[in-house]
Structure formats: C-alpha cells, structure tokens
Structure 1
Amino acid sequence: MVQRNGRMERREPVLGASAAMTAHGDMRLSPEDRPTTMARNGGGSSRKSGAGASDGKRTGTRSSSGRGGGRKPRRGLLSRLFYWSFVLGIWGVVGVAGLIFYEASQLPPIQNLAIPERPPTIIIQAADGKTIATRGEMRGSAVPLRSLPPFVPQAFVAIEDRRFYSHFGIDPMGLARALVTNLTSGRLREGGSTLTQQLAKNLFLTQERTLSRKIQELILSIWLETKYSKNEILELYVNRVYFGAGAWGIEAAAQRYFNKPARQLTLAEAAMIAGLVKSPSSLAPTRNLEAAQQRASVVLDAMVDARFISPDMEQAALAKPATVAKNNSSDVAGYVADWVADQLKTILPSIEHDVIVQTTLDMSLQAVADKALKDALARNGKKLGVEQGAMVIMDTEGGVRALVGGRSYEESQYNRAVTARRQPGSSFKPFVYLTALETGMSPASVREDAPVQIKGWKPENFSRDYRGPVDLTTAIALSLNTVAVRLALEVGPAAVISTAQRLGISSKLEPNASIALGTSEVSVLEMADAYVPFANGGFGVAPHVISQVKDSASGKLLYTAPSAERGSVIAPPHLAMIDRMLRQVVLTGTAKRVDLPGWQVAGKTGTSQDYRDAWFIGFTGKLVGAVWIGNDDSSPTKKASGSGVPVEIWSQVMKAAHKDMSPVPLPGAGTETPPAAAPPGLPPGEVPEDPVVTGGPQAQRKPATIDNWLLDKLFGG
C-alpha cells in the first residue's frame, strides 16, 4: 500500500524488476540487475534495497564465467547409482560380517573343535568266523582310502565335487552355478555344496535347510580345510556319508548292496554307490534298482569327463551294470543280528571301539531255515490263512544254531521268535505230563478220556470224540485235552507252572486249569529252551547266541560266554519216561508225519484255540527245533494245525542240520518204564495196577470213579 494525495492506494508487487524500471515502465534490465559474480551490495533498510540485495544474493552465484554464464552440471544417474551401490555394499559387507560373526559364536571355540569319534561298529560273525552282519549306528567299519580301488574315491569327486582338489572348502563357481540354476528354475535344484561342506554337515550339524545352518557349514568347511589334507577329508567323507537302507559309510554300503568288502568293489559298483549320495533313500538299489543304475551311468560319464577313466572303461562298466547281491545275508540273518545287538547292550553296556561278536550261528543251517519257512508260507499261506512264522534251532547246550523271526526281514523287523508271545497250545502238555510223572504216575497210568466241566468251562478234544480210559502215553500221543486238564487239576496248576519254569519258561503263566492246554503266552525261543532238557539228559540250559566278544583293533577278549548249564532239572527215571511218551507222539500220534530217517525223534504238536497258532517242537539227541506259524494280529487261521506245515518245516530243516552227524539215541530210550505209583490223595483201593507199556499205546481198564472223586474234591461237585 502507498499514500497518494492524502489517501492510501493498493499497488501490486512487481517481481524481478528495479524500482526505476517500475517507475518508468521500462522492462529492460539495467547493468546492476544483470547476473554478476561481484559481491552483493550492502543493503540499506528500505524494501527496495532489500529486494535488490536479495536478488543479488539469489543470482550472484550462478556463474563465474563470462557474460551470461551457464548452469552447474547435475550429477549423472550412473554416478548416483555407483555412489549408493558403494554405500549399500559397505553396509552389506558389515551385515554379512556381523551375521558370520554371530553364527561363528554359536559354534564351539575353534581351538576346541575336533572330529567326533566314529560310533563303534558291531561286526557279527557266525560260528565259523565269517561275517554275517554289522550293527551299530554306522553299520560298517572305517576303510582307509589307500585300501580302496582308485576309482572309488574318484567316483565321488567326479559326481559331487569336480574342483575338490583346487578349492579351499568353498567352491565359488559351484555356488554361482547353483544360484543361477535355482533362480532360473524357480525352485531348489542344486545345492552347490562341496565334499568338505557335506562332511561338515554330517559331522557337526543337522540336516535342516536354513541360512544359519548354511553359514555354519561354510565356517566349518574352511576349518576342515585348514586342519586336514584333501585325502584325509575325502577318507572321512566316504566313511561317514549315508548311502540308504541303513548303510552309513562305504564299507556298510558295499556289504549291504553287494555282499562284499569295499576293497573288492568293481567300477560299476563304485559308480552306483557314489550316485546314491544325491538321494540315498529313493535311489537305493534295494528299492529302485533301475533308478540306481541310471544314476550310475551319469557318474561314469562324469568320471570320463574328469579323465579319471577312459571311454572304454565306461563302456565295459555300462555293459555289465551293478546289481544287488541276491543271497544277501542281511535278510537271512537280520533277525538274529538284531537280537545279538540287543543282547550286547547287556553284556557290554559301554562300547567305545569297533567290536567283533562271534556267535553260535550256523549260517548254512540259517539259510535253510529261512528258505524253508519262506517256501512253506508261499506255498500254503494263502490256503491256510497264515501270514507269518518263526523258528529256533538250538543245540543241547543252549546255543542257537538258527533263528528266523518272520517270513521277511526286509518287510518287517519284528522278531516273532524272541519278542512275540503266543499261546503254545498242546505243545505245553509235556510239562503237565512230566509233573504227573514226578508225582508218582507212569506212562502206563490210566485216566478217563471223557467230557469234563469245570465251573462252566468244557474243554474238548481236537477230534470231538472220547475214548474212555486211556494210558498217559496214548493220551499225550493223541493230544487228548480232557486227560491233560484232569492231570493238571490232579497235580495242581502251580506245580505245572513250577515245572515249566524250571525247564526254561520265563514268561508269566496263569495258575488255572486251562494251563494244561497252553493258554498262557510264551515265545518260540522259550519253548525251544524248555525242551532242551528232554534232549540232553535232563540238564537245564540258558539260551545264548553270543560266544565271545573281541576288540576289533587290538583283538583283546572283552567277553566269553559262561557255561550255559543250569544243573539237572529232570531226574533220569522221569526223563526216560517222558522221552518215551514224546517218542510215541512221532511214531503213532499227531506228529507221525515227521521225516528224519535214521534218527530217534520225539516232540509235541500244538494248536491253540480257534486255530490261531500252530506249533511243533521236536528234538533228537543233538538238536531241538521249535516252529510256529500264525498271524501277527492273532486272527484265526483256516484250520492250520501243528501236525501239518510246522512238522513239514521242521523235517526239512532238521534233515539239513543232521546230514553230517552220526545218529545218537534219545536219553533213556532203552530204559524200562518203572511201575506206576498211586496218584497222591486217592482213596485206598481205587488205583488200578498199571502194566508197563512196551509197545504202542493201549487203553487200560480203570474205575470211572476217580475222575468224579477228583472233581468233587477240587470244586465241590
């Protein structure tokens, strides 16, 4: 606002012009208004001066060049990009260094790092000293690199880490290639890990895929490279890596897939094993042989490319690709090997080094037993509704010569010979009859074969018919249930249990009348053990499979099996009687289909309720064999009985077991049976005179009042 003629008037401000220009209407710039580099004028206090000073300040710095001047050049886009990339790079390096420092702090101090001790391997040998299986976490002994054919380590280098001998534990080229491949494919296809990184992961870290674990892996890889030579790292690698099917290390893989030491691997076999590292579970030749062979061809091609082998060597290997050994002992001896490993935990609770365990096992007999069971189930299983079976062959000192825990170890590792408990049925009856003999009866003693009822329970014979008065030899030979139950009640269930436990049964037995029919569950191993005294002269034994244990490196003896004998458990007279009775089971009774020419054989069949279990336990003067067939879920079979398939399996295996042995008689086979004694507790005059039975079983006359009197005394009618 300005005052004109005594009144105020509004004047619009004029930008960029001097007062003189405004006053005269001249729009041209005066020399003072032109850009200059001279120092701006000192300003007065008026707005005009202030404006001019302001303009001078604003325009006086634009150029120091000649007239008119020019603009200062702006920084280009590339220079700005370079600047910020440099800044971000610095911060990135700082961040990565901090992350590495943090992850390193989570590891043990470098000076305290050490290669973890290799878990001990359990080398299991047969009685003849031949290795039949390996157990332990690694399941294979360590093999020096120099002991392997040159193409074995070369196969791993060719397919897993071509620049192994030139990098420092980390392969930048491999990492870059893996990064590009993963980014272009949109998924994780390559890891870029060196052999050293894989070893670091196996030795120190978990298998999880995280950034933290990867950084620790890189740190440990560099540490390994600084501490160990390349060959030492490669040796550690081939002895620690996983090859599928439970095989850790090159030795375990060679034994598992090819049934031979790693030192004897062929080029084709080495290529197959090296190829498994990529995906050991899915490529395992026991699971997918075709995929394993295809992967082996890729390994061979990589070996040619790396100039480790010639094209001719590759063609020879491709012409005869590796295959899995057919007679692989891991399946044949798998059940017994697992049992050995379990027992070793009790014998030697702490194992620090590899050990050699020598067993009582006869591998030729083991193979026969395994095949006999498999063939019998394949031939009759569907028809009889039977899926499983088990067998134990034991010598007269308690040593296990063969043990089969199921039809296929590959399909199921559950040991039905040792772990499973099943009802033995009538194969339990010898303990009842032995108890009766020990209380004064004889094989010629007579009891009534007739229907019996005990508080609502009505045990019946297998044939559903009854013979009236029969001697005990006939009763056990024909497996008459009513007589066995009467005897159990006569001597007392507790006495029967005591006898069974004295001979070797360790499972819990229920003290009731049905104990006579084998309703309490036991294992196949227990039944074989409890029959051994019948075969060896009446001496109890402890079943065992381990003979001795030695340190693998030093040969130091760590354990020797003590004497298995537990002393006399059957008096000679009673042994002679029970063996003669069990011999009749084979000659004229339920086991008359036994086929072992030239040998005296005795034993007992057994079939549990609803045909759920079928047994035969038989023995000679040299060996005892127990056979069971049934279903894991205890479902009924289609009338499979002990006199059928179990007897057939037993005969086949025992023929092979006895072929190089000279026949020996059963203990007391020529001993005359002593006269019968009166059953304890009977009224005078009620006991018949039992003649000695020297021939086949024959029925004897006997007062029918004995059974009724016994039941009245025990149950009150």
Structure 2
Amino acid sequence: MTQGRNSGRGTSGRGRGPLVAEKRQAGGPKRKPAKAPRRKPATRAKKGWSLFGRRKARAPRKRGVLGWLLMPFQIVLRAVWAVSWRIGVLVGLFLAGAVAYHYSKLPEYQALLDGRNQGSVTLLDRAGKTFAWRGDQFGGVVTADTVSPHLKNAIVATEDKRFYRHFGVSPRGIAGAVRINLSEGRGPLSGHGGSTITQQTAKLMCLGVQFDPTMWESEAAYESDCRQSSLWRKAKEAIFSMAMEAKYSKNEILSIYMNRAYMGGGAYGAEAAAQRFFGKSANQVNPPEAAMLAGLLTAPSTLAPTSNIERSRNRAATVLRLMEEQGYLTEQERQRAAANPAELSEAAAARAGGYFADWIMDTVPGFLGDQTTEDVVIRTTLDQRLQQAAEDAVNYVFENKVREGSKAQAAVVVMSADGAVRAMVGGRKVRASGVFNRVTQAKRQTGSAFKPFVYAAALELGYSPYDRVLDAEYCLDIPGSGPWCPQNYTRKHYGEITLTRALRDSLNVPAVKVSEAVGRDNVRHVAGEFGIESDLADGPSLALGASESTLLEMTGAYAGILNGGSSVTPYGVDALTLVGDSEPLMGASGGMGERVIRPAAAQELIWMMEKVIAEGTGRRAQIPGWQAAGKSGTTSAAKDAWFVGFTADYVAGVWMGYDDNTPLTGVTGGGLPADIWRETMVRVHEGLEPQPLPMKAPEPIAVPEPQPQQQRRNNGGGLGREIERTLNGVLRDIFGN
C-alpha cells in the first residue's frame, strides 16, 4: 500500500516516484546531481534596425554630461541619415533606369559619325582647283585610330585631360568651372561649363533628339535649343553621357566628337577642317597644325584661321603648352612647333571669289545649293588668276587715286565673249562673302553706257557710222510734262557730225535724235535681246541711260556685241555633280543665244566703240599694245559712273558710286572707273599675245545723199522695212542732207 502511493506521487508530480528505478552502482558512493550554471540577471536589450533587417541588441552606454548635450544632434543626424539613404537608394534606382533607357536607345556608333542635317557644296575653278566651300562641309569619317596622333592628343589635352579616367562626368571639372564662373562675376553655369568630351559629344547629338520641322521653326532654333545651359539640361546631359560611356568605348566617343564638331569655315569634323585649312588629310597634320585645329573647338568662327590667322596661331601656342604639360610633347618638340606655326593652304589663304561663290549659290536650284542634303561639287568658270587681277586693280586705284576717307564703292566683273564669268568683285572690300554684291544685286542707272544699243539699232536698220546728225538745240514735247530739252555734258553743240563722233564724244542730243529716229521700241528690243532684262524707260531719256540695270547685265550685253551680235547669258556653272556620281546633274547654265543684230552691224559698232577708247571719252582706258573698245557712262548728278568695254579676249565692266546714291565728287565714267578698267585689263592680259578686235571699218561716204542712205536703210535686215518707211519724214527733219 505504501509503495503504491509513492508510485502514484511520482507519476503525478505530487511525490510519486518514477516508474523506472534509478541506476545504482553497487557498493559505490552516491553522485550528487550537477548544479546548473548561475546566470546573470538579464537586462532589457534595445532594439535596432539595419539595412537588411533587425540588428543585434546592444547594451546601453552610460552617457556623461557631454553625451546628454550631444544627444539632440545625434537624434537629428540619425533622422537625416534615415531619410537620406532611402532617398539615395531611390535616386540611384532612378539614375540607373534613366541610363539604361538611353543606353537602349543609342545606335551603333558608326551611325553617329556624320551628324549633319545639310550637305556641302565644293566649288572648283575652271582648272578644277577648289576655291570655295559652302554648306556643312564634311571631309569624311576619321577615327581615333586613323587620325593623326598629334590631333588626338591635342584635343584631349585641350578639351578634357581626364577623358580616359572619368565615367562621362567629371565632378572635379564641374567644381572648377563653377569656381571660375563665380570668381569672374557670372552665374555658376554661365561661361565655363566643365563639360567632358563625352558631355560635349552628347550635346552635339542633342541628347538623341532628332530635328523635327514641326517642333522647331528652323535648324538654327533646333541647335539653339540643344545648346541650353539650364540645370535640368545639365542633368539630362550627364545621364546621357553616362549612357554613352556604358555603350561605347572611349575611342568611339572621341571618334564621334572629332567627326561631328564644328571647326569653323563651314567645316564639320576634323577631316573637313584639315582639308579646308591645310589642304591635307587629318591623318597627316603635324603638331602645329593639330594644335590649331584643336584650338578651334573653343570658338570655331572667331578663331578660324581664314578669319584671323594670328589669333588662331596664338590659340595654337596655348594648346602646344598644354600638350607639353600633359606629356604629349617634349619641350624641344613644343619649341619647334611654336617656331614653325601652321600655314594655310594656297586655296584657304587666297579666299578667292567670295562674291562669285555667293552668286553661284544664288543661281543653282536651292535643293542643290544652300538647302542641299547631298554633297555637291560644282565646277565653275572662275579663273583665279583673273580674279586676283581684278582684286589687285580695285585695291591699287583706291589706294593711289581715291581720296582718303572716301566711302565710295566699286564693282568689277570680267567675262569671256560667250558670257562665262571669269572674275567678280562685288565691292570695295574685295575678299568678302555673304554681303551685298554690287555686280549682281545693285540696279543703277546706266547713263551713257547705254548708248551703244541706240547705235546698234540704227546700224541694224542700215545706217552707216558715217551718217550724219545735227547736234543743235533740240526739244521734245512730253505729254503731261511739257517740253524736254536734252543737253550735252559740255553744254555745247557741235553742228552736223557723224554717228561715230556722236558716240566717241558721248554727245546726248545726237543720241536722243537717233533713238527717236529708229524708234524707242526698237532700241528697247535690241537692248532686251542683248540681255538687259530690267525695265527700260518709255520716254526719250531711254537713249541717255535713264533705265536701271546691273553691272552683270550690262557687261553681258557688251559681250554680245563682241561675239558678233548674238545674245549672251552670263553664267558661272560649267557642271554640277553629286559626290560619288560620274555624270553631272547640270551642265553650263548660260552662254550664247540667238542673233540680235547682223555680224556686219556688230563689227561696225565695235569699230565705233574702239574710237571711244582710242580718241574719245575713254582714253584713260587704253591698254598698251592692245585694241580695246568700250563706253563710259555717267548718270545725272554723277550718282553712278560706269566703264564697260572689251578686247578680242575678254569683256570687263566697272561701276563706281555710293550705296546711298550720294553724288560722286569729280568722278565720271571716263575717270576712275576707266582707271579701274584699265588696271584690271592690263593684269588680265599679262602674258597674252595681242589680238585684233573683230571690227570692220565702214566704207567712206564722200557726200551722203538722201537716196543712197534711204536705200541702205531699206536693205538693212533685223528690225524691218515697214517700220523704217514710217520714220522717213522724221529722219529728213533730223538728219537733213
């Protein structure tokens, strides 16, 4: 009973023993049960958090007085840190996403090498030599591996010396640029940008945004938008740059930059610039040339060597010093390059035919000219030797014969008898482009330079240079205006004189009488057929050059007289070809046209005009050893002065005056314009064998009888006999016997 109860207590926890007996060691001592290790009283742990979850608890630290004072700051810092790292994570994720987005949009780098929106136009002279460039010139693709190492090093040394070490953005560069801008009194983003080559390339690519004419008014507006310097724009630029760094190698980025950068003179890319300024490939440039090209990247238009060679050389000297400092050149190499600065090629130094090139661009269709998206080559009629002759002539006369301080302008054009323009000077500043061209754009009254067309109409009707006209006081009644009485320049009258003398001495009264005799419509017809397209006056002052015309038109009309009486269209384009094509898209843009007057009439007119230079108002235009024919012209109040003439080989025209129509002082067509014409033609004919003019002296007439004259007039072709018969009565009153 007792054992049963004890067993029950063990099982219930109430004193009952275990069901299994304890092991006992026979005869051995009883082992005391092991004591549990004594534990320190537990303290309540502080809970904390880490980036990856709950952090381990740590015992509180005892704070001293300083600790309690710093505790508020620690709380603030912990709060700031808690917010900052979360924002940092979000920004990092956003940045990574933005970079990845742009990365996915970037094409293969070869597609980015030619970044032009427009094509280029290369102008060749008659000998096939390049003399001018227009449009966005692109010489071809270069890479960091194929370009001259000097040019590659010069660009890196000048634009981004840490290019091969940064990830697309240079914090040090940006900080330095902000410091410089603030020290110079500008905004932090105004002036120096601290941009890396990668950022500059991103900007050249407009951050991947293509030109859309529906979004921008013009390409200029598009480019201006791409060049913004706002903080937001800089941030987008930095993201795009990092995407480029992830997509392309350093050398690929540098290649894109060297091909897309504008380098002045219309040249885009290193190859175009090297060809434009030095006449060689970009893989052949030496250290001084490479330094000059790299220096252009800062301000390509201002520093272009064709604008100011000394300024460009000074900038190149700075680039050479940077190359030495960064170990790309030794001191001796830098000194040698500085002592032998880059020289422009012959074509670049000449800057020939700026006015001529502008005229060519105006004459070709826009889609093949200033708006072309193709690369075009135009072979022109320009002769660079003759162009230099015309420029030198203008400079010589203005330096030696024009009073100091005069603002008078002058224009010169030289062409062949078929209208092929060989030289053009559109203003006193002989080497210019993109400015007002007085050869082609200025319409001015022609004065007595128009008179050869009056006598051309008379000769075509059968008159002889020996026919006579009475130079006496003469008035015409103009309906609505009253009487009009022309006067000779000398204010004198010379009685009965020949047509030859009337033209030789540029007498006004005889010219008006002949014009009225042959009919103003006939005079207008002859002048118009010879190429004067401007509106011609309706009144009797037509004979005195009251109409306006351009120098190009007048000179082309005189070329028609020289070539035997056929019309001429002045032209400058021989052939226009797309780069890569063998067949031209366009041929010659002008030349000789239909006959206007009989060859015999043209030969007699040339004979009359030769007397103008040999004996008359154009004596100052005489060329030693050469026959020359021409005509001077001076308008009312001497606002315009002309001299146009020719030899057997070339036709030249000269205009002189003020752009605002201020009267010239002491200048007539037979004065300074004749001097410029002579100086031009002497230089033009240098080294040529003198050739006689294609003129024919008329048979002398002892006593001009009315009946023989009438017979000659009726036998003249051209303008018709019926018109002549209606004028017989007027002719008898004017010419007498």
Superposition TM-score tier, normalisation by shorter sequence: 0.7 to 0.9
Tell me: CA distance 1:542–1:290, structure 2 relative to 1, closer, same or farther (3 Å).
closer
Please list the CA deviations of residues 71-128 of structure 1 after superposition, one character each: whole Å capped at 9, or x if unmatched: 9998441342242144145447647976998999999965799634453111111111
Q: Give the Cα separation in 2 of the matches to 1:652 and 1:73.
A: 97
Asked if 1:394 is matched to 2:415, the reply is: yes
How many Å separate the matches in 2 of 1:406 and 1:527?
17
**How do 1:201-350 and structure 2 match up within 5 A?**
201-204=203-206, 206-244=226-264, 246-251=266-271, 253-254=273-274, 262=282, 265-285=285-305, 291-322=311-342, 328=348, 331-345=351-365, 348=368
Between the aligned partners of 2:304 and 2:184, the Cα distance in structure 1 is 27
C-alpha displacement at 1:304, in angstroms?
1.6
Select the residue among 645, 651, 657 that pairs with 1:618. 645
Q: 2: distance between equivalents of 1:597 and 1:707? A: 40
CA contact (8 A) 1:100 1:215 kept: no
CA offset at residue 134 of structure 1?
A: 0.7
Mapped partners of 1:687, 1:570: distance in 2: 19
2:380 to 350, 359, 362: 359
Quick one: distance in 2 between partners of 1:525 and 1:426?
Answer: 17
Once residues 79 and 367 of structure 2 are traced to their aligned partners in structure 1, the CA distance between those partners, rounded to angstroms, is 72
Counterpart CA distance in 1 for 2:433 and 2:133 is 19
1:23-62 alignment runs, 5 A limit: none
CA separation of 1:318 and 1:659: change in aligned 2, threshold 3 A: closer
Alignment match, 2:467: 445
Equivalent residue number for residue 130 of structure 2: 131
Counterpart-to-counterpart distance in 1, 2:281 and 2:676: 34
Name the CA shift for 1:642/1:412 in 2 (closer, same or farther; >3 Å): farther
Q: Which of 666, 669, 677 in structure 2 is aligned with 1:642?
A: 669
**How far apart are residue 651 of structure 1 and its match?**
2.3
2:39 — aligned with what? none
Is 1:382 the equivalent of 2:378?
no
Q: For 2:537 and 2:326, how far apart are their aligned partners in 1?
A: 71
- Bigger shift: residues 557-566 or 323-332: 323-332
Q: Determine whether 1:80 maps to 2:76.
A: yes
Please give the alpha-carbon distance, in whole angstroms, between the structure 2 residues aligned to 1:612 and 1:108: 68
> Relative to 1, partners in 2 of residues 1:386 and 1:471: Cα closer, same or farther, differing over 3 Å?
farther
Partner of 1:518: 545
CA distance, structure 1, for counterparts of residue 584 and residue 395 of structure 2:
37
**2:148 aligned partner, one-letter code:** P
Secondary structure of 1:559's aligned partner: coil
Q: 1:660 to 1:223 in 2, by over 3 A?
A: farther
2:438 corresponding residue in structure 1: 416
Structure 2 residue corresponding to 1:569, chosen from 562, 579, 596: 596
- Contact kept? 1:257, 1:324, Cα under 8 Å: yes
1:141 is the counterpart of 2:139: yes
Cα shift readout 1:534-590 (whole Å, capped 9, x = no counterpart): 111222222111111223334443322267221222212211221111111121111
Query: Relative to structure 2, which stretch is displaced further, 173-182 or 369-378?
Result: 173-182
The structural deviation recorded for 1:361 is 1.0
Identity of aligned residues (%): 38
Please tell me whether the aligned partners of residues 585 and 591 of structure 1 are also in contact (alpha carbons under 8 angstroms).
yes
Residue identity matched to 2:556: D
- Given that residues 384 and 637 in structure 1 are in contact (C-alpha distance below 8 angstroms), is that contact kept between their aligned partners in structure 2? no
What residue ranges of structure 2 are gaps of 5+ in the alignment? 1-42, 44-59, 62-66, 207-222, 477-481, 714-728
Shift in alpha-carbon separation, 1:384–1:294, aligned structure 2, 3 A: closer
CA deviation after TM superposition for structure 1 residue 192, in Å: 1.7
How does the TM-score come out when normalised to structure 1?
A: 0.77
Number of residue pairs aligned between Structure 1 and Structure 2: 625
Change (3 A) 1:375 1:97: farther
Secondary structure of the 1:158 match is helix
Greater Cα shift, 317-326 or 570-579 = 317-326
Q: Deviations over 1:303-355 (max 9, x none)?
A: 12222221111111222344667985564311111112222335837743322
Q: 1:369 aligns with which of 375, 390, 394?
A: 390
Would you say the 8 A contact 2:463–2:712 is kept in 1? no
Match among 424, 432, 435 for residue 403 of structure 1: 424
CA contact (8 A) 1:271 1:296 kept: yes
Of 423, 448, 453, the residue aligned with 1:426 is: 448
Cα offset, 1:427, TM superposition:
0.8
Structure 1 97/615 Cα, relative in aligned 2: closer, same or farther at 3 Å?
A: farther
CA distance in 1, matches of 2:202, 2:705: 79
Q: Does 1:599 align with 2:619?
A: no
Query: Contact between 1:362 and 1:401, CA under 8 Å: does it hold in 2?
Result: yes
Partner of 1:164: 163
1:119–1:97 Cα change, 3 Å: farther
Matches within 5 A, 1:89-128: 90-91=86-87, 94=90, 115=112, 116-117=115-116, 119-128=118-127
Task: Work out whether residues 134 and 140 of structure 1, in 8 Å CA contact, stay in contact via their aligned partners in 2.
Answer: no
Report the CA distance between 1:199 and its aligned residue: 2.1
Aligned partner letter, 1:191: G
Residues 333 and 265 from structure 1, CA distance in 2 versus in 1: closer, same or farther, beyond 3 angstroms?
A: farther
Q: Distance in 2 between matches of 1:318 and 1:639?
A: 52
For 1:124 and 1:685, the matched residues in 2 are separated by 56
Secondary structure at 1:277 match in 2: coil
Which residue in 2 is equivalent to 1:469?
496
Partner of 2:199: 197
Is residue 126–residue 363 contact of structure 1 (8 Å, CA) maintained in 2? yes
Structure 2 contact 486–508 (Cα < 8 Å) conserved = yes
Q: Partners of 1:177 and 1:214 in 2: how far apart?
A: 16
Answer yes or no: is 1:588 the counterpart of 2:619: no
In 2, Cα distance between equivalents of 1:675 and 1:240: 79
* Root-mean-square deviation over aligned CA pairs: 3.9
Per the alignment, do residues 185 and 564 of structure 1 end up closer, same or farther by CA in structure 2, a change over 3 Å counting? Answer: closer
CA-CA distance at 1:228 after TM superposition: 4.4
Moved more, 669-678 or 235-244: 669-678
